[in-house]
Every structure is written in structure tokens, then in C-alpha cells.
Structure 1
Amino acid sequence: MINPNLDHVGIVVADLETAMEALSGNLGVEWMGVFDRTLAMHDAEHGTRDIQLKIAVTTQYPRLEVIQTIPDTPWALGDDRMLLHHLAYYAGDLGEDSSRIAGPCPIEIAGVGDGGEIPRTFTYHVHAGLRFELLEPRPGVTVPGQ
């Protein structure tokens, strides 16, 4: 079952550091730091491939997840601006929940586990232009509303 409490709002930006400075200065948000690593992901167009992610997340709820643009991925930008990208919710069982809604809300991209398992970590779904992310619960991470 999908937890209806919003975890974060994803925003794609042209330059991560510039966006972090602007959001801190204008909204007073604080950051957990920058997550910068390569993850295996799967989509219908490219199959499984490694994608370099550079993300910053605020400490305040609902969190802002700011993602540096990545060409030829769901995180691509057409110009030099910020773009509201997705809403994110925790799934009780990522595989089951993402499969259940995949008919009306197809999976755009999914995380791949170390052993090639799909989905792992997250799935992105799109319905009528709205993109949302389902997250796999992780040990030690606070889930909103629990």
C-alpha cells in the first residue's frame, strides 16, 4: 500500500550549487549535503544503464529534492530554469505497488538492484502528465506519517 504522506518534491535544475544557494537564500532551507554517485537504472528505451546522479535534499519536510539535469534521461531540461519534476511517496512493497498501478500509470524508469532486480530503490510513473515516484522503504530513514 502506498503511504499517502508526501515525502518530497523533486525539482530538476541546470546547476545544483546555484539552485541550492538560491533556495537557501530565498526560502531559508538547509541541506543534508550532496548525493553524487552512479546508479543502475532501467527504462524501455535504453534498457539497463548506469546514470550519474547529483542530488541535494533539504532537512525540512516535505523535503525538496533538487536534481542536476542529465541529458537523455527523465531529468533532462530544455533550457536554463528550474522544473517541478515529481512528487514522491513511500510504497509498502515497491514491486507490488508499482506493478499494481503500472497499467494506468506506466513505469517511466526504475532503479536496478546489485543483482539485476527490477524495481529496486524507486520507480517513476506518469499519469496524464503528472510524474510521481514510489520509494522503497530503507532502514534508518524516517517515513512521513509513521
Structure 2
Amino acid sequence: MKAGNLFHVGIVTHDPDATRAGLTARFGYEWGPQIGGPVTVTLPDGIVVDVEMSCAYSITTPRLEVVRSIPGTFWEPVAGAGIHHLGYWSDDIAADAADLVAAGYETEATRGGPDGPSFAFLRSDAGFRVELVGRASQAGLERCWAPAASEVSA
């Protein structure tokens, strides 16, 4: 993993609309579409659960992801901090996650895919989280922050 693979900073909030509006008013952020739906994840104890994800990425950089909180999961606002996670592209989620675990990180959730995990969340002993996102998802996610067709000049 390299610093250059960082592609977003995740913020989890109970009120994503107000959070995005505040970031727009104060810092000029613009937003892509809200995306989401049911996601099946595996927790560290092996339990598989379905969660209803909802988020939006900023069009503006540095890229932010505002995620609607999911009560009873680690997708809840972090007390005393606004940052929930740092999102990194990964060419090998299993290997990168194993390196982080060897460095003392704890796995909080993974999502399987046809060729191995499609994402993983790990928490450091300092309390911050890293989200590893498979490079195969990059093209699809980049559509979430591409300028609208009306904003592209001819």
C-alpha cells in the first residue's frame, strides 16, 4: 500500500444531507449522486450480515465520502472525531489486510467477491480505520464523482 492509493476520506453521520450541505456552504464541496443499497458483509466472528449502505462522494477534491450511519454497526459516527476512515485502492485486498493485521490492525468487516474480497475495513490500535477497496471497483466508483454531462465542455 502507498499513500498515493488514498482516494477518499470517509465521514459517517446521522444526517448526511446536513453534513453535505455544511461542507458545501463552508468549503465549496460539490457532490455526486447518492448511491447505496443492501450490502452483505462478514464480521470478524464469521457472522454474515446484510446492511443498507447509503453514501455520496464529493466531486470536489480532496475527495470526501459522506456515509449514512448504520446503528449497531461500526458505521456510526466516531465520538470526538469527524473522520471515520481513510479509503485506499488495493490490488490485493487479502494481502494488504494481512499486512495490516500483522501490524496490529483488527479486521472489522469484509465483503466477498468472485475473486476474493471486494472491500475490507480494519481498525488501527490508534482507533482510526482503513477501508481497502478492490481496484476492480475503481471504474464504477469513479462514475460517482465524474462531472455531470452538463458540466463537461464540448
Instruction: Report the TM-score, using the length of structure 2 for normalisation.
Output: 0.78
SS of 1:125's equivalent in the other structure is: strand
* Counterpart for residue 133 of structure 1: 131
Q: Is the Cα–Cα contact under 8 Å of residues 42 and 49 in structure 1 kept in the other structure?
A: yes
Residue correspondences, number: 137
Higher mean displacement: 100-109 or 22-31: 100-109
Deviations 1:74-107 (A, max 9, x none): 112478x973101111112112211232232121
Q: Which one has the bigger strand percentage?
A: 1
In structure 2, which of residues 113, 116, 120 is the aligned counterpart of residue 123 of structure 1? 120
1:33 equivalent in alignment to 2:33? yes
Aligned to 1:97: 96
In 2, the alpha carbon distance for the partners of 1:24 and 1:4 equals: 26
The one-character-per-residue Cα deviations of 1:40-98 (angstroms, maximum 9, x if unpaired) are 1111247111110110110123210001111111112478x973101111112112211
Q: Deviation at 1:28?
A: 0.7
Tell me how large the CA RMSD over aligned residues is.
2.3
Q: Percent identity?
A: 26
Shift of 1:118: 5.3
Q: Distance in 2 between matches of 1:102 and 1:47?
A: 19
The one-letter amino acid of 2:21's match is E
Query: Which stretches of structure 1, 4 residues or longer, exceed 6 Å deviation after superposition?
Result: none
CA contact 1:3–1:91 (8 Å) conserved in 2: no
Are the aligned partners of 1:12 and 1:67 in contact in 2 as well (CA < 8 Å)? yes
Paired residues for 1:1-146 under 5 Å: 2-5=1-4, 6-45=6-45, 47-77=47-77, 83-103=82-102, 104-113=104-113, 119-120=117-118, 122-128=119-125, 129-137=127-135, 138=137, 140=139
- SS class of match (1:101): helix
Q: Which amino acid aligns with 2:43?
A: D
Q: What stretches of structure 2 of length at least 5 have no aligned partner? A: 143-154
Query: Partners of 1:76 and 1:28 in 2: how far apart?
Result: 25
State TM-score, norm by structure 1.
0.82
Of structures 1 and 2, the larger Rg is shown by 2
